[in-house]
Amino acid sequence: SGCTSLVSSYFLFLPTASTNPKAALKSKIVAEFRPQSLIDELLLYKRSEDQIELKEKQLSTMRVDVCSTETLKCLKGKDIL
């Protein structure tokens, strides 16, 4: 029938991944997406941010003469800086 040929000809003109580079790239990205690796990276980032915040709090509560090289050496030895 005429309707069937119209529908089938419509689908012939839809861009496919092989004819559309953007669609192919999107398909590849979706196929290769590994959520666990993203989660792991985000957890590492969060831990790093937490460490920075902790060290900033430790330093803000200390009264340190920043001009004293001996004091700075002691802080480095305690892994605060």
For position 66, what pLDDT does the model report?
A: 64
* Lowest-pLDDT choice from 46-50, 53-57, 74-78: 74-78
Predicted TM-score (pTM) of this structure = 0.42
Instruction: Classify residue 80 as exposed, middle or buried by CB count within 10 Å of its CB (0-12, 13-18, 19+).
Output: middle
